[in-house]
Amino acid sequence: MTPPPGAAGAVRHPDAPAPGELLGSHYEKCFGCGGGQAHGLHLEARAGEGVAVTAEFTVRPVHQGAPGLAHGGVLSTALDETMGSLGWLMHTIMVTGRLETDFVRPVPVGTVLRLGAEVTAVDGRKVFTRATGRIGGPDGPVAVRAEALFIKVNVSHFTEHGRDEEIEAAMADPDQVRRARAFEVNP
């Protein structure tokens, strides 16, 4: 996932949340960041400097794969969600096109995984990102890392492809519409 020569650096939107500010959930029922998913990851990402974010994920028993250990797919989801939240800082809606995860060490249930993600390059609609998850805190050992290619999309990506029931409910929710618009440069 190497950006092509001539790819640009990421540009922080002037109205991006200040460093340290919580980004909030983009959708209440998102498995990654929504508060309305009992078994979800409940990730809370914060803006960093430039186009970077941090987040914390507490591994709960519902996230197990092997006994006492986090499921690898769940860890990939945590990294994916963290990288996806970088869109807040660019006011860009983007979806994952490709995701590669390295599992470096097992992650026990009860671990607080400290996640960090940044944009490495932008080439047209393609946004290149990377992320790490460290055990216990920002200086803890790296347990997982990932690179992902996100593709910029419009809100129509969701309205055209999402199930009507959820789309209609989202469009009728002024708070959800406000959050969707917060991602876009030209809503």
Stretch of 17-25, 36-44, 80-88, 105-113 contacting ligand PKZ, by CB under 6 A? 80-88
Residue 26, both tokens: 């983009």
Residue with tokens 């939240």: 85
What are the distances in angstroms from CA 97 to CA 1, 81, 129, 185?
11, 13, 11, 21
Closest CA to 47 of 80, 20, 73, 78: 20
Stretch of 15-23, 34-42, 49-57, 120-128 contacting ligand PKZ, by CB under 6 A? 120-128
The one among 81, 89, 111, 132 contacting ligand PKZ by CB under 6 A: 81
Does residue 180 bind ligand PKZ (CB under 6 A)? yes
For residues 37 and 140, which CB has a smaller minimum distance to ligand PKZ in the complex? 37
| Site residues, ligand PKZ (CB under 6 A) | 26-27, 32, 80-81, 84, 93, 95-98, 124-126, 149, 151, 153, 155, 158-159, 170-171, 180, 183
